Each structure stands twice: as structure tokens, then as C-alpha cells.
Amino acid sequence: MIIKNIKLENIRSYSNKAISFEMGSTLLSGDIGSGKSSILQAIDFALFGLSRGILSGESLLRYGTDRGSIELNFKIKDKEVKIRRSLKRSSTSVVQDSGFLEINGIREELSAVELKQKILDLLNYPKETLTKKSLIYRYTVYTPQEEMKSILLNDDKYRIDTLRKIFNIDKYKRIKDNSKVISYYLRERIKERETLILDLEDLKNDKKKYEEELNFLNDNLKNIDSKFNVILIKIKDKKNEISLIEEKIKLFNELKKNLELNELDFRNVKSRIDNCEGLITDLTENIRRLEGEVGYDFKIKDYNSDIQIAKNKINRIDKELLEIRGKLSENKINYINSEKVINELKFLNKCPTCKQDVPDEHRHRLIGKEEESLKNFKDNIKNLTSDENKLIKEAESLRESLEQLSNEKNKFEIFRLKRKNLIEKRESLEKINKELDLYRDRIRYVENNISELKNKIENTDTGNYEGLRKEMDVLVMDERKILLDRTSIETKVKNIEGILVKLNESILRREKYREELFKLKNLRSFIDGDFVNLIDEIEKKIMLKVHGDFNTLFEKWFNILVDDDNLNVSLNEDFSPLVEQNGHNIDYLYLSGGEKTAGALAYRLALNQVINNVVSNIQTKDLIILDEPTDGFSESQLDRMRVLLEELDISQIIIVSHNPKIESYVDRVVRLNKKEGITEVL
């Protein structure tokens, strides 16, 4: 991982500032309180977010602002990564807001927890650090100097537990603790299995008892099946005998039924013959009466044609009368109007239109002309009245003729109906005589059938049907009793088979429990013995290897920083520093301030290198951040710091220090200065 730049907005003393980083060593220089450590905390926040007890939102967000953000750009192998986290002030506290992660230009909006998970994946940090403080980062990349001193000064158990977590060796302790849990769990399962198989032998005895009872019942079933087969044969033979007699009875019943049908047919035919003879008598009498009324000679005439001709003439006369009466009415009106005009002209002196005097000559001329029209109307009325009277007389004569024709037609129709009735009755008489002959033939045929059927009925023998039915009933009762016995035994067999199935299942289940019990005991024995011993051995060897590497590096870095042949340091088995001065062991607390700082820095660098070697796949090996690593150093120790930096084989080193002498040891210096509460980059 190589940091390229970081942008801070409203973070502590930074209002809006971007700081770039390069490969090699970079010094963040400035007076105390100028904002150097704020950059390191901002990098920590950008990667992992807020952490309770370590990094709070209140400590990061600039006082008097409601929102702030940090954007960090870095590179991991071939991935260009940009991460942005935001802070916002609520009514009670400062909390994280959503942010984004951009990898090779592809941006993804994520929550605070999702961002941390993605970063852990990128850095190849263990997943369990998602909800914990990132120990690997804090002890390989960035550890405040005071925290490292506290590790050296804390009790041995705390130090060992912390180092176990850092080196990921605490998993062996967890494995042993989990082994105890598993062993306890196995013990409980063993007790459970032992309880579950207590009744195994009793179940086997019950199974044997039920199997013997089942064999006994199966033998009884075989005997019952043998009896049942015999009774079935007897029932079959008896059914055959009864079937033969039932066939005869069926034939007998059919003969009786046919006899009844023929007798019914005889009565019906006899009744029809009686009806036919009565109809013949009535028809003969009616025919004789109609022959007397109709006779044999009558004249056929087409009255309809004559009636239609008369009607057509009457219609024509009615139309002519209508036309004459219209003309007559018109002439009468004209005649009245002319008389009126003549009377008006006789007394006309002035023209009603032009108001001029009318001359007598002109008035007489008009009156003469109107009198001539009056005479014509009178002649027309006379002629039309004469024509009307002629047509009325002609119409009356035609109506009298039409009435006479209608009367003659009605008489003719009555005559024709009687004639038709006579013909129909003659035909009916002939038809009935033919039916009578057929009925007489039918009745002779039915009489013969009745006689034959009576003879067959008398000769039909139904045998001892009732006796056979009683014998059959006895056999059926025996069959039912055998079936009931068999059903009862089969029910018992089925119940016992069900019990045996359950017993077999229970026995198999308990035998399976017994096998599981054996495996559980072996597994518990293995876990409590060989497995735990193996884990102890692995842990010891790893701890020895880590301790050896750690001690060698610790001595190396301390000897570079402290040039004193009378002062030797090393690590005991609890990874606490052993200090020997002039051949005597002394407490670490009795060292000078510079020597304590050198010890803490040597411990820090040794821890960094060992972690990078043990946890080989993490992606932060190329970066280390040193926060005030020379606090309390003497001038000679500051000179030795140059040697230490040259010895470190790390691609990017970021140092925070207010000591100006360090500037000559690094590749690049970023100067910070706080003015009126705002940090500026010089």
C-alpha cells in the first residue's frame, strides 16, 4: 500500500487542505499542535472509520462545523484506490455518514461498515477485525509512540494477549478453549447416547417375543386359508346348482309374463273388435241417411267466378259514382258562387280595388258573362244527376244478383259437404271392415300362443330351490365366520408388524446411537489428548520462532539507536524487555527518557517486521508511519536515527516530528503551521 494524497475538509485544524505523499521518507514537520498528528488520525479514519475508545467523531470534526470529510488516495499493486468518509454533527454527537470507494475509476456508494469491510478485503486483513480495532494496522503501520510505551509497561498477561492477537497466534488459545467446549459438548452427547441405549436389550427381547407371536399367527392364517379355500369350493358348487334352477325359474317367470302379456293382448283385441262392430253399425246407418239426403245427381257450377265478376262491376260503378259525385259537388259550389257574384255585380258602383266608378255597360257585360257560366253549371248538374241515378239503379241490380249468387253458393257448399261426408264415411266403413278382419286374425293367433304357454308352464320343473338357498345361506355364514377370524388375525398380524417396524427402527436407532457413542468417546479422547497436545506443540514452536525473530530485531534496532557497550537489552519469554547494565539486571523504568524512547521505537520496528513476516499476505508492508519517534533523544541518538532510517527496507515512511534535525535524514519535508486555528502547508 502506497499513500498518494489525502484531502481534509473541516477536520480538526484543517478547513480545506490537500497533502501529497511520495515514495521514500516524508517528514511532517511543525511546532507542537500544528496539526501533524491530525493527518495520521485522518488516514486512520479514512481506512477504518471511527473506533470507540481510540478515535471519536468529536475529536476529528472541526469545532463549529456540522459536516466534514476525508478523501484518501492510495495504490495497492495495480489498483488505484480512492476512499471518502464523511462526518456529520447530530443533536447529541458526531457520527459517520455514508461515503464511497473508487477502484480503478469504478465508484461504489457504501455505508461506513461496508467501507471498512471493503478496505479489510483490499488489505487482506482478517475478517474478525471488522467489528474490532485493527490491531495489525496499529502495530505494523501506525502506532502512537505513547501506546507502544504502554505495551512495554503493561503487565505480562496483557502484553502476551495483545501480541497473540497481533501475530494471529491467539487462534491456538481459542482452538484449545473451543476444544474444551467441544469436549464438554461431547461429554454431554456421550451421556445422552448412553441414556438412549439403556433399553436396547429390552427392545431386542420384545422384538423376539413379537416375532414368535407373529409366526404363531401366520401358522393360524395358513390353516384358516385352507378352510377358506374348501368353503369357497363348496359355495361355488352350490352357486352352480342354484344358477341352473334360477335359469329354469327365470324361464318360468318369462313364460308367465308372456302369458299375461298375451292374455292382455287378447282382451285388447277383443275390445277393439267390439268397438269396430259398433262403429260399422253407426256408419251404415249414417251412410243410408246421407244417401237419402244427397242422392246421386247434382249440378256443379263455378259460383266463385260469377260472384267475382259481380263484385268487380259493383266496384267499377262505385268508383264512377264517386267520380260523378265529386264533379256534381264541384258544379253545385260553382253555381252558388256565380249566383253570389251576379247579386254583388248588380249593386256594384265603385271598384273595390282602384276605387273608381264602374260603368253600367261594363257591369252588364260582367253580369251577362257570369249568367252564361251559371247556365253551364246548371246543365252540368242536371246531366251528372241523371248519370248518378242510372249508376245507382245498376249497382242495386248487381247487388241483388250478388246476394242471389251467394245464397246459391251456400246451398251448394252444404250439399258438397254432405257429399264429402258421405264419401268419407264409406271409406271409413271399408277401412274398419279391413281392421276387423285383421283383429280377428290376431285374436286367433293370440289364442294359440296362450294355449302353448299354458302347456309350457305346466311342464316347467323348478326343483328344490328353497332348500338349496338355505344350504347356500349356511355356507355363506361359515364363510363370513372364517373371514372374521382371518380379519381378526390379520389385524393382529398387522399390529404386530407395525410394532416390529417401530421396534426395528428403535433398535437400529439405538444401535446407531451405540456406534455414535463409540465414535464420540474416541473423538473426545482424541481432542482431550492428542489434539490439544498437538496444538500446544504448534503454538510453542511458533511462539519460539516469533520470539527468536522478535528478540533479534529488537536487539538490532536498539543497538543502532543506543551506543552503549555496558547496556544490553533482550526479550524474556513474555516478550517484556530485559535490561542488563554493567552485568546487572535493571528495571526498564530506570532507563533514561531517550533510552526508553529508543526501546519503544526498537520494539515498534521489530514488531512491524515480525508481523509482516508472519502475516505474509497483508498489503501494508510497504508503509510505516512513525509518530514522534525521537521524543527525548540525545544529539547522538538523533544522529543514529539516520542509520536506522537507512536500514529500514520500506518503500514509504511517514514521520511526524517537531525536531528540525530529522529534516536532513528524509527525502521530503512537508512543513505545517497553524495560524488563527487553521493549519497551512508551507
Considering the domain architecture, whether residues 133 and 225 belong to the same structural domain is answered as: no
Q: Distance (Å, rounded) from C-alpha 672 to C-alpha 658?
A: 10
> CA–CA distance from 235 to each of 222, 248, 433 (Å)?
20, 20, 62
Domain boundary among 463, 478, 512: 463
Find the mean pLDDT for residues 605-629: 86
pLDDT of residue 594: 85
Percent of the chain with pLDDT over 90: 21
Q: 419 with 298: CB under 8 angstroms?
A: yes
Grid cell of 579 as nine digits: 535490561
Q: Distance (Å, rounded) from C-alpha 449 to C-alpha 599?
A: 143
Span 544-579, pLDDT tens digits: 888 899 899 989 999 998 888 888 899 888 788 888
> Would residue 193 count as lying in a domain?
no
> Would residue 591 count as lying in a domain?
no
Considering the domain architecture, whether residues 221 and 135 belong to the same structural domain is answered as: no
Q: Which of 558, 552, 556 is nearest to 637 (CA)?
A: 558
CATH number for the domain spanning 65: value is 3.40.50.300
> Would residue 6 count as lying in a domain?
yes
Comparing 318 with 256, the larger pLDDT belongs to 318
Considering the domain architecture, whether residues 291 and 385 belong to the same structural domain is answered as: yes
Kindly provide the residue ranges of all beta strands, DSSP E only, lying in 122-180, ordered along the sequence. 142-144
> Would residue 172 count as lying in a domain?
no
Considering the domain architecture, whether residues 352 and 265 belong to the same structural domain is answered as: yes
Q: Which of 111, 68, 81 is nearest to 5 (CA)?
A: 81
Q: 16 with 8: CB under 8 angstroms?
A: yes
Q: 95 with 87: CB under 8 angstroms?
A: yes
DSSP letter assigned to residue 662: G
Grid cell of 444 as nine digits: 286367433
> Would residue 407 count as lying in a domain?
yes
> Would residue 411 count as lying in a domain?
yes
Q: Distance (Å, rounded) from C-alpha 625 to C-alpha 528?
A: 45
Considering the domain architecture, whether residues 297 and 392 belong to the same structural domain is answered as: yes
Find the mean pLDDT for residues 6-33: 93
Q: Distance (Å, rounded) from C-alpha 611 to C-alpha 405?
A: 146
Q: Distance (Å, rounded) from C-alpha 562 to C-alpha 644?
A: 11
pLDDT band at 422 (very low <50, low <70, confident <90, very high): low
E strand or H helix at 183: helix 170-196
Considering the domain architecture, whether residues 251 and 368 belong to the same structural domain is answered as: yes
Q: Distance (Å, rounded) from C-alpha 640 to C-alpha 635?
A: 9
Q: Distance (Å, rounded) from C-alpha 77 to C-alpha 79?
A: 6
Comparing 122 with 286, the larger pLDDT belongs to 122
416: β partners: none
Domain boundary among 406, 432, 463: 463
pLDDT of residue 291: 67
Domain boundary among 404, 434, 463: 463
pLDDT band at 543 (very low <50, low <70, confident <90, very high): confident
Q: Distance (Å, rounded) from C-alpha 255 to C-alpha 247?
A: 12
Burial 124-149 (b: 16+ CB within 10 A, else e): ebbeebeeeebbbbbbbbbbbbeebb
- pLDDT reading at 129 higher than 80: no
pLDDT of residue 258: 79
Grid cell of 297 as nine digits: 245427381
Give the number of other CB atoms < 10 A from CB of residue 427: 11
pLDDT of residue 565: 82
Find the mean pLDDT for residues 190-218: 89
Comparing 266 with 677, the larger pLDDT belongs to 677
pLDDT of residue 95: 92
Considering the domain architecture, whether residues 104 and 231 belong to the same structural domain is answered as: no
pLDDT of residue 23: 94
Find the mean pLDDT for residues 80-105: 93
CATH number for the domain spanning 354: value is 1.10.287.510
Mean pLDDT of the chain: 84
Q: Distance (Å, rounded) from C-alpha 439 to C-alpha 266?
A: 10
Residue 570 CA to its chain's centroid (Å): 70
Q: Which of 587, 652, 663 is nearest to 630 (CA)?
A: 663
SS (H, E, C) 595-661: HHHHHHHHHHHHHHHHHHHHCCCCCCCCEEEEECCCCCCCHHHHHHHHHHHHHCCCCEEEEEECCHH
- Pairing state between β 142-144 and 623-627: parallel
Grid cell of 332 as nine digits: 253545385
Residue 388 CA to its chain's centroid (Å): 100
Considering the domain architecture, whether residues 275 and 393 belong to the same structural domain is answered as: yes
pLDDT of residue 295: 58
Find the mean pLDDT for residues 487-514: 90
Span 582-596, pLDDT tens digits: 888 888 888 888 888
Q: Which of 294-298, 655-659, 676-680 has the lowest mean pLDDT?
A: 294-298
- pLDDT reading at 298 higher than 60: no
Find the mean pLDDT for residues 32-40: 90
Find the mean pLDDT for residues 25-43: 92
Give how many domains the chain has, as a whole number. Answer: 2
- pLDDT reading at 244 higher than 90: no
- pLDDT reading at 11 higher than 90: yes
Q: Which of 74, 75, 57, 73 is nearest to 65 (CA)?
A: 57
- pLDDT reading at 297 higher than 60: no
Cα-Cα-Cα-Cα torsion 10, 11, 12, 14, nearest 10 degrees, comes to: -70
Considering the domain architecture, whether residues 269 and 382 belong to the same structural domain is answered as: yes
Find the mean pLDDT for residues 188-213: 89
> Would residue 15 count as lying in a domain?
yes
pLDDT band at 623 (very low <50, low <70, confident <90, very high): very high
- pLDDT reading at 25 higher than 90: yes
Considering the domain architecture, whether residues 79 and 226 belong to the same structural domain is answered as: no
Considering the domain architecture, whether residues 136 and 218 belong to the same structural domain is answered as: no
Q: Which of 444, 396, 23 is nearest to 270 (CA)?
A: 444
Which range of residues forms the domain containing residue 314?
214-463
- pLDDT reading at 149 higher than 70: no
pLDDT of residue 473: 83
> Would residue 577 count as lying in a domain?
no
Phi then psi for 411, rounded to 5 degrees?
A: -65, -40
Considering the domain architecture, whether residues 302 and 399 belong to the same structural domain is answered as: yes
- pLDDT reading at 424 higher than 80: no
